[in-house]
Structure 1
Amino acid sequence: MKFNEYGLLEPGDYPLTFDQLRQSILVKGEAHSLLPWDAYWRRKLVDNLEICVRQLWACGIEEVYIDGSFCTDKYQPGDIDGYFVAPDPMEVFDGTLANKLNRLDPYKCWGWDRRRFDAYGNLQLEMWYRYRVELFPHCAGVYSGVLNDKGENMKFDEFFRTDRDFLIPKGIVKLVKG
């Protein structure tokens, strides 16, 4: 795993356990880089991510992917973004999945309505406030709300695999049980 000339992971899916993630360039940085790196903050983000992902796994969700600025050479990413493959879309739409997850989470942070503003005036998820993690469901009928260069609403699995301008393919991490 390495960053390309754009500071993105080379295209592809990188399956990692949490132990492997903590030992990767995403947390430790590149060995010979001259760029500053906030490994302490990145470890904290991974610790928070692990809490959320273990809750997903406990609910039978196996596929979880992460990306965002965390998966770039940015010194200090603001959060970790990602998505998971929800096997039953109806559980997402009717709130059953969020209820199951909130029974596991002491802060009841699961849900996908942005209701609180951050310091910059952006609406954020409760999950973001507690963990600095945003994990979205990917299933039939769920789209990201982000339009591609053709004006089409993108699904999370395509949205997370290109840069912000949808021009450069990039890699993402698939979290696996270890």
Structure 2
Amino acid sequence: MTNSFYNIIVVIMIPPLISLSGSPWTVLPPGIHPGSLEDVETAFATNSWRRQLFDGLVDAAGQLRSAGCGQVYLDGSYVTGKPRPNDYDACWEPAGVDGQKLNPVFLNFNNGRAQQKATFKGEFFPSSMICADVGRAFVDFFQFDRFTGKEKGIVSISLATDPILS
């Protein structure tokens, strides 16, 4: 009798940050990098302030998931080498979202998104919403460094399967 065994282990890790000539901090390499909230925590919740930002992100992600959102894209100085980012930027996939269950703060863009920042310590946009400044959907706009205009990466988080939200 012959026994055959195999094990398929899939590890998703956020890649190491890279230098981008002209940018003040290291950034994610170009592309959309899948990761879990736990991966984000490991990579970016590296001091007490960044931990507070992460806690706001988890709260927001849970509320978005409860409204039917399946995907969040994380950007901003939070996913860079900046030691003390002011906040994080995120956009969420609107497909499948029940507007009746969506916290209205996710659609409040007044006063520089002050209510979003007060509630979640970050800013949120529907991923397909066009950023008026550049004429691109936020999910695309987020993939360019604001200092250099060069491509950089963002993190995608699948809310439906994320263990922290389960």
Residues 44-53 or 128-137, more deviating: 128-137
Question: Which residue type is aligned with residue 27 of structure 2?
Answer: L
Query: What is the correspondence of 1:72-151 to structure 2 with a 5 Å cutoff?
Result: 72-87=80-95, 97=99, 99-102=100-103, 109-115=105-111, 123-139=112-128, 142-147=129-134
CA-CA distance at 1:114 after TM superposition: 1.1
Counterpart of 1:169 (choices 115, 128, 151) is 151
Question: Which residue type is aligned with residue 70 of structure 2?
Answer: E
Question: Which residue type is aligned with residue 14 of structure 1?
Answer: H
Unmatched 5+ stretches in structure 1: 29-38, 103-107, 116-122, 148-152
Find out whether 1:51 has 2:81 as its counterpart. Answer: no
Unmatched 5+ stretches in structure 2: 1-14, 21-25
Q: 1:114 to 1:16 in 2, by over 3 A?
A: same
CA-CA distance at 1:154 after TM superposition: 1.2
Residues 9-18 or 50-59, more deviating: 9-18
Identity of aligned residues (%): 27
CA-CA distance at 1:46 after TM superposition: 0.7
CA-CA distance at 1:23 after TM superposition: 1.2
CA-CA distance at 1:171 after TM superposition: 0.9
CA-CA distance at 1:159 after TM superposition: 0.3
CA-CA distance at 1:51 after TM superposition: 0.5
Give the TM-score, by structure 2 length: 0.76
The root-mean-square deviation of aligned C-alpha atoms, in Å, is 1.9
Q: 1:5 to 1:113 in 2, by over 3 A?
A: closer
Question: Which residue type is aligned with residue 49 of structure 1?
Answer: L
CA-CA distance at 1:166 after TM superposition: 6.0
* Conserved 8 A contact 1:27-1:42: yes
Structure 1 runs, 4 residues or longer, greater than 4 Å off: none
* Conserved 8 A contact 1:146-1:159: no
Whole-angstrom distance in 2 between the partners of 1:113 and 1:22:
26
Whole-angstrom distance in 2 between the partners of 1:41 and 1:67:
17
Whole-angstrom distance in 2 between the partners of 1:15 and 1:158:
15
Question: Which residue type is aligned with residue 70 of structure 1?
Answer: Y
Q: 1:124 to 1:135 in 2, by over 3 A?
A: closer
Whole-angstrom distance in 2 between the partners of 1:146 and 1:166:
16
* Conserved 8 A contact 2:66-2:101: no
SS of structure 1 residue aligned to 2:132:
coil
Give the TM-score, by structure 1 length: 0.71
**Aligned residue pair count:** 141
CA-CA distance at 1:87 after TM superposition: 1.0
